[in-house]
Amino acid sequence: MNWNRIKVGGITLGIVLIFNWIFSKSPIIFDYLYFKSIFQAFRGLHDFTLGFLPIPSLYIIAPVFIGYFFYKKKDFKYWILESIGACLIWIVVFFYITWGFNYQQPHIGKMLNLPSVKVDSVYISQTFRDQTKILDSMLTNLTIEAPTDIIKLENETRILQEDLLTKWKIPTIGRVRVRSLFGGSLLHIRTSGIYIPHAFEGHLDSGIYPLQYPFTLAHEMAHGYGFTDESVCNFVSYLTCLKSSNPTVRFSAELAYWRYLVGYYKYFHREVWKEEYQNLNPKLKYHLDEISNHVERYKDWMPKYRDVIYDKYLKSHGVKAGIRSYNQMILLIAAYRQMEDTTSVSTEGDNHQ
Ligand SMILES: [Zn+2]
């Protein structure tokens, strides 16, 4: 009798895992039964109620959820054990129901019919140099200013992202919120943003370098519209930000892309990198230093285990590349650009290289 909540939770979890398996086998069932119906209903329900509150939904949902399992000491020897067990099981159950089934989404390459491309060291080197020139030119010709009004940035980003997703025929019934949390809340675990399915909202640590807000915000927003894969969210965020008329938003995305490229470029050109780094635009070096300085203000609480845990988490959800999945953004952008080039060649008979 006393273990009822665990029993019910266990059975529900079993059913959830069966559905997860069914969705993994049938993209059509996943699409109609979950992504285009249940998930959208949840989105609408949250976004048009708690989503309007000035505080993160997390501050309401977390205490209510945890309180429900622990509020009353029961006349039962193992009540605390039972409460912890039941709470953990239901966290997992709700994770799937509110968002986690989206891990079964077909790959974006398939959804958008992206061509398969080869990204090798020659491509990386050339793209990195081109990207450096783009940043150079932006820093020279445009006014790049840290965004001060995050709500305004959030609203503008949502319009751009919904526009992009609508073109891809992805439903945007909700209005995904991305909340700003106090500095250090996530940076202590070396994370700049996080989407919390149970709260239906994305979050970013306000302690990150403000020029990173636009890209991070658009990344978390993409999670909210149902994308689970990190590289896909980077890709969606990149395209979203590039649509903006605000140079700072575009710069934020180009800088993020550059930072993914530089990791590989450094690896391929270890001998000359130090010298090349010295020759970078001083303004760019300033921004790079500021990014690290902002992170370093917060002590790393779990340096060794974080990446291992997150890697295991991603792999357990079928993201085979694990933590490297973030870097596949380079591949997606390469494929997308190739697709755009082919489209413009065939429609205009004119090669935009
Ligand atoms: Zn993410």
With beta carbons less than 8 A apart as the criterion, state whether 138 and 248 touch. no
User: What spacing in Å lies between the alpha carbon of 100 and ligand 1's midpoint?
Assistant: 13
User: What spacing in Å lies between the alpha carbon of 180 and ligand 1's midpoint?
Assistant: 15
Residue 184: predicted pLDDT: 85
The residue with tokens 């921004």 is: 287
Cα-based torsion angle of the residue sequence 34, 35, 38, 41 in order, rounded to the nearest 10 degrees: 180
User: What spacing in Å lies between the alpha carbon of 189 and ligand 1's midpoint?
Assistant: 14
Q: Are residues 193 and 320 in the same domain?
A: yes
User: What spacing in Å lies between the alpha carbon of 152 and ligand 1's midpoint?
Assistant: 21
Domain boundary among 50, 79, 104: 104
User: What spacing in Å lies between the alpha carbon of 274 and ligand 1's midpoint?
Assistant: 30
Q: Are residues 170 and 56 in the same domain?
A: no
Residue 347 clears pLDDT 60, i.e. is over it? no
- Note the pTM of the prediction, 2 decimals: 0.90
Question: Which residue would you say has higher pLDDT here, 113 or 319?
Answer: 113
Q: Is 190 left (phi over 0), alpha (psi -120 to 50) or beta?
A: left
Residue 1 clears pLDDT 60, i.e. is over it? no
Q: Are residues 145 and 225 in the same domain?
A: yes
Portion of the chain with pLDDT greater than 90, in percent: 68
Give the residue numbers spanning the domain of 284.
108-348
Contacts of 85-90 with CB under 8 Å at 24 or more apart are: 85/6, 85/9, 86/5, 86/6, 86/9, 89/6, 89/9, 89/10, 89/12, 89/13, 90/9, 90/12, 90/65
Calculate mean pLDDT across residues 226-251. 96
Q: Are residues 157 and 245 in the same domain?
A: yes
Which range, of 53-62, 179-188, 236-245, 301-310, averages the lowest pLDDT?
A: 301-310
Contacts with 224 (C-beta within 8 Å, 6 or more apart), sequence order: 43, 174, 176, 177, 178, 195, 200, 201, 202
User: What spacing in Å lies between the alpha carbon of 312 and ligand 1's midpoint?
Assistant: 15
In a domain, 353, yes or no: no
Domain boundary among 74, 104, 134: 104
User: What spacing in Å lies between the alpha carbon of 326 and ligand 1's midpoint?
Assistant: 8
Q: Are residues 178 and 289 in the same domain?
A: yes
Q: Are residues 100 and 51 in the same domain?
A: yes
Domain boundary among 104, 123, 155: 104
Residue 352 clears pLDDT 50, i.e. is over it? no
Question: Which residue would you say has higher pLDDT here, 343 or 246?
Answer: 246
Q: Are residues 25 and 90 in the same domain?
A: yes
User: What spacing in Å lies between the alpha carbon of 198 and ligand 1's midpoint?
Assistant: 15
Closest CA to 109 of 323, 256, 281, 329: 329
User: What spacing in Å lies between the alpha carbon of 211 and ligand 1's midpoint?
Assistant: 18
Residue 350 clears pLDDT 50, i.e. is over it? no
With beta carbons less than 8 A apart as the criterion, state whether 167 and 176 touch. no
With beta carbons less than 8 A apart as the criterion, state whether 226 and 260 touch. no
User: What spacing in Å lies between the alpha carbon of 218 and ligand 1's midpoint?
Assistant: 10
Residue 220: predicted pLDDT: 97
User: What spacing in Å lies between the alpha carbon of 267 and ligand 1's midpoint?
Assistant: 24
Query: How many separate domains does the chain show?
Result: 2
Q: Identify the three-state secondary structure at position 62.
A: helix
Tell me the pLDDT tens digit for each residue of 67-112: 988 877 667 777 888 889 999 999 999 999 999 999 999 999 999 9
Distance between CA atoms of residues 202 and 62, nearest Å: 14
Q: Are residues 88 and 134 in the same domain?
A: no
Calculate mean pLDDT across residues 147-165. 96
User: What spacing in Å lies between the alpha carbon of 346 and ligand 1's midpoint?
Assistant: 35
Residue 343: predicted pLDDT: 75
Q: Are residues 20 and 163 in the same domain?
A: no
